[in-house]
Amino acid sequence: MQLIILDRDGVINEDSDDYIKSPDEWQPIPGSLEAIARLHRADWRVVVTTNQSGIARGLFDLDTLMRIHEKMHRAVRDTGGLIDAVFFCPHGPDDHCACRKPKPGLYHDIARRLRIDLKGVPAIGDTLRDLQAARAAGARPLLVKTGKGPQTLAHPELDADVPVFSDLASAVDAILTPDAG
C-alpha cells in the first residue's frame, strides 16, 4: 500500500479567506472526492494535513473542527473513498509550534505514527507553506491550481521542479497513470 498526503482547504474543499468555520461552510472542490475514491480503490492510504489556526483565533472550537472532518469523511465514503487519517495544527502563526506548516512537524508525526519514510511520498498542496513542509520532510511536493494555487504559482520562492496540476483529480490521474501522456 502506498501513501499520499493531501492538504485540506484548497485541495479537497473550497478555501475561504474567512476560514472554514462550520460543516455547512465545508464544500468539496468538484472531482476531489472522486479522486480520493480512485486512490482508495488503487490501494493508496490517504492522509490529510491541515493548518487550523481558526481554533487558536477563537473562530471555532475543536468540536466544530471534528464535525467538519466528520462531514468530509462521510462525503468521501459516499463516493467510495477513505481518508485514513487527518493530522491538524490548531496553533496560530505566533505560537511558534513545530506542527504549523511550513514547518514539517505534521509530516514527521505521520512518519512516526505510520512507521514510514516519507522520501518520495506525494504531498499535494495549494500553498507555498504546504510545499515547503512536504519538502522539508522528504516528501515530494505537488501543486494544484485550486484554492490559493494561482497565487502560489506566481510566488518567486516556488521551486521550478514542483509539478503543477489543475486540481486534485488531474494530480491523481498523473499519479495513478504515470506513463500516460
Query: Which residues are designated catalytic?
Result: 7, 9
d(CA 57, CA 64): 14
Spatial distance between the Cα atoms of 38 and 169, rounded to a whole number of angstroms: 9
Which residues, in sequence order, are CB contacts of 78 under 8 Å at separation 6+? Answer: 33
Which residue is associated with the grid cell 494535513?
A: 49
Q: How far apart are the first and last CA of the chain?
A: 25
Give dist(CA 128, CA 7) in Å, integer. 12
Q: Can you tell me the distance from the alpha carbon of 139 to that of 119, in angstroms, rounded to the nearest whole number?
A: 5
Cα 5–chain centre separation? 6
